[in-house]
Amino acid sequence: MNAHLFRFLINRYPPYWGTGITVTHISPDYREVRVQMKMRWYNRNYVRTHFGGSLYAMTDPFYMLMLIHILGDDYTVWDKEAAIDFIKPARGTVTAAFHITDEHITAIRNATHDGGKYLPRFPVDITDEGGHIVARVIKTVYIRRKKRRE
């Protein structure tokens, strides 16, 4: 699926639409994704900052989805684990940017060439309008090269 259509569809996905999360950019090669969330009455918590669950949701599937598109059908890719560190209260519009480099792809291919699993960790910072980090998420992704059928 081309990145433009994918961005269109994911922005209509009810869990994102309902929390105000918007995918603002997907590069044609799926190596870069940017996501933002504006402060709304329905995505803030009791103390009028962004709800932590919505901050995490901004980061939930993107490394997995990017790698599925980059690696193709020869690989199994799943989200395995995540950790979030809330650094400061999040107000206003917040943004997260995801990047997959050539080095990441080389490491994945090298680690899985014999069919073994690989569990790389990908950090992503959520920043406010001033560029300050409000939360840091570490995503662990399960990757394994599929066995070839003869």
**Residue pLDDT, tens place only, 44-79:** 899 999 999 999 999 999 999 999 999 999 999 999
**Which H, E and C letters describe 9-72, residue by residue?**
HHCCCHHHHHHCEEEEEECCCCCEEEEEECCCHHHECCCCCECHHHHHHCCCCHHHHHHHHHHH
Task: Give strand pairing partners of 79.
Answer: 141
CA atoms 3, 4, 9, 12: torsion sign:
positive
Its pTM stands at: 0.92
C-alpha neighbours within 13 Å on the C-beta side of residue 110: 7
Question: Residue range 101-126: average pLDDT?
Answer: 97
Question: Residue range 104-131: average pLDDT?
Answer: 97
Tens-digit pLDDT profile for residues 4-37: 999 999 999 998 888 899 999 999 999 999 999 9
Q: Which domains does the chain have, with CATH numbers?
A: 3-145 (3.10.129.10)
Going by pLDDT thresholds of 50, 70 and 90, the confidence category of residue 149 is: low
